Chains A and B, each alone.
Chain A
Amino acid sequence: MSLIAPARSTADTDGSGRGKPQMIQAVPVRHPGRWACAVVILAFAAMLAQSLVTNENFRWDVVGTYFMDVLVIQGIGWTLLLTVLSMVIAITLAILLAFMRESENPLFRSVSWVWVWFFRGTPVYTQLVFWGLIAVLYPKISLGVPFGPELFAFDTQDIVTAFVAAVLGLGLNESAYLAEIFRAGLKSVDNGQMEAAEALGMRKSRIMWRIILPQAMRIIVPPTGNETIGMLKTTSLVLAVPFTLDLTFATNGIANRSYLPIPLLIVAALWYLVITSILMVGQYYVERHFGKGVDNFVRIPVDKATAVKPAAVKVVTAGDSNESGVKEMEEKP
């Protein structure tokens, strides 16, 4: 015993074992290399900062003038709208595609596979051009019985506007990537979860939705955050449709008119950075939500229903004070 706890025995003056143990106060390892690196890095940072301030080609005054320009702010609005709508479509489709891929129905599995194969296998730029040209390919959209009567019809141009084409192009392409992320997430959940839920008599679709997907979200959220930030910047490709109101198009337009490309690139870059930072904060909270019970289970939800149960009180006191007391209690049923 004294061999196992030497620190305590030396601190005990009376040998009763009740004295405060002598705390270890070790000398930490020194890191001279870190200090050297820090000096070099700081030097470079200072040089960069100095050049940013002194190099007049940056034209910070122009950056300032256009940072809150109406066209720029509108561009941000459209960019955000494109990002959010296309991600909503992509996530919805991705959940569906991932469930279909894991389904027992071979038809669902193949449809999902072909979808991912096609939309992942062709460039998003091509897809956007294609959606822009859909009205040329199909001037009318009509619903009816094949080779039979037509139920109703629209002019494609009225339905698939440039904005709709942009959202569809971005969303459908993204759904293929997200489907694989969601599938990986679903696969990461232990098989025992499905079995336990099945043994309780739950149906597969409900199990996927309530048991498997929430757990998979822990794995799904970080790469999906990545994809969302990627999408924010991919929206600059909607020029291909052509859709011409997004942030990049707005700043490019101003740059071309004023012959000042560099400051307007900086305006766009700064705004993309701001939005990305906001998205990252959002991701933090989403991750925290889905990490409940696994990553962050210290916070215990307060539940009124359990707190007021009178029957509970008796056992709470017996069990809370002493865990082994619970065991003793059970031994005399």
Chain B
Amino acid sequence: MSVTTDTLTKPALVRIDGVHKYYGQHHVLRGIDMTVRQGEVSVLIGPSGSGKSTLLRCVNMLETINAGRIHVNDELVGYRERGGRLHDMNAKQIAAQRREIGMVFQRFNLFPHRTVLQNIIEAPTQVKRQSKAAAKTRAMELLERVGLVHRANHYPAQLSGGQQQRVAIARALAMDPELMLFDEPTSALDPELVGEVLNVMKELAASGMTMIVVTHEIAFAREVGDTLTFMDGGVVVESGDPREIIANPQHDRTKEFLARVL
């Protein structure tokens, strides 16, 4: 599974430099540096409240950062640099940037009033102005990929959690993103449904997708991850090869955390 050696030579797709984020007085991200190369699976772990979700949400501008820079594909995220000053992006520019980044949420967030197929073609038809027929064809390919072709005309409420999350992945992929963000995609699932979602993610990783995955599934991190980053209290405590970190954590906080989740 390991593609570490190839990806190390690939160019960086995501560059996070010295990022700080405050919620009011609450200093949530305290200088995060992180690089994700093209095709890399970067796994983010850490205790609850350490800022993992916040970091992911900053990457696709669901939150704004207060200091530092985030680049995706060498493009500054959320701002335009003009005359040596940063200008806020307008809604149109932000939406355009988000199209390159897919996101999968802990609670799926499928559109309940739309069927599986309608969920998947919504953004391609509405945002990318694809024809309905083309979008449907593509949607069916994606559904085949996640093993849910036979559920195309079902409503989300008719699906199990695992199936819903697989649809959510297909929906994000329908926009042909360069980067996929996963925020604890299996945390809301019954244990027996976790595997089917991780399998889809594993296959996606094997197909060369660049992914940042927040998860508590250490086995997934070890098997699929190219890098593992451990966050605590809004800082990166440790980062490197997943197998090495899991087998031999350097910091006490990492040791403590791994002892609890393993």
Contact = CB atoms under 8 A, between A and B. Distances in A.
Interface stretch (A57-65, A158-166, A193-201): A193-201
A306 B143 CA distance: 11
A315 B166 CA distance: 15
Interface string B132-162: 0100110011001011111111111110000
A319 B149 contact: yes
B101 to A, nearest CB: 7
B112 A293 contact: yes
A312 B144 contact: yes
B147 A330 contact: yes
Nearest to A297: B155
B171 to A, nearest CB: 7
Contacts of A1: none
B156 to A, nearest CB: 7
Interface string B77-114: 00000000000000110011011011101010111111
Given A192-B109, A201-B127, A320 B150 contact: yes
Nearest to A199: B103
B48 interface: no
B187 to A, nearest CB: 14
Interface residues on A, range: 35 or more
A145 interface: no
A331 B195 CA distance: 9
Contacts of B117: 303, 305-306
Contact of B62 (A195, A210, A311, A312): A195
Nearest to A320: B150
Interface residues of B, number: 55
A198 B62 contact: yes
A326 B159 CA distance: 14
Interface in A280-302: 290, 292-294, 297, 300-302
Contacts of B151: 319
Interface in B175-205: 175, 195-196, 199-200, 202-203
B25 interface: no
Contacts, number: 144
A212 to B, nearest CB: 10
A327 B196 contact: yes
B93 to A, nearest CB: 11
Specify which of A206, A297, A331 lies most central, judged by the most chain B CB atoms within 10 Å of its CB.
A297
A311 B144 contact: yes
Given A192-B109, A210-B122, A303-B153, A201 B96 contact: yes
A192 B150 CA distance: 26
A329 interface: yes
Interface string B49-68: 00000000000101000000
B214 interface: no
Given A206-B126, A309-B137, A200 B171 contact: yes
B113 A201 contact: no
Contact of A294 (B112, B137, B203): B112
Contacts of B136: 305-306
Given A193-B109, A203-B95, A306-B140, A293 B114 contact: yes
Contact of B149 (A210, A211, A297, A315): A315
A303 B237 CA distance: 51
B35 interface: no
Interface string A199-226: 1111110100011001100000000000
B218 interface: no
Contacts of A192: 105, 107, 109
A315 B147 contact: yes
Contact of B98 (A200, A214, A311, A329): A200
A293 B157 contact: yes
B206 interface: yes
A300 B115 CA distance: 9
A199 B60 contact: yes
B172 interface: yes
B141 A200 contact: no
A121 interface: no
B34 interface: no
A333 interface: yes
B32 interface: no
B123 interface: yes
A200 B175 contact: yes
The 8 closest A-B pairs by CB, nearest first: A201-B99, A196-B109, A293-B155, A200-B123, A192-B109, A199-B103, A297-B155, A326-B147
Given A199-B101, A206-B126, A311-B141, 16 more contacts: A196-B110, A197-B123, A201-B95, A215-B113, A293-B157, A294-B113, A294-B155, A306-B136, A312-B140, A315-B147, A319-B149, A326-B147, A330-B146, A330-B196, A330-B203, A331-B199
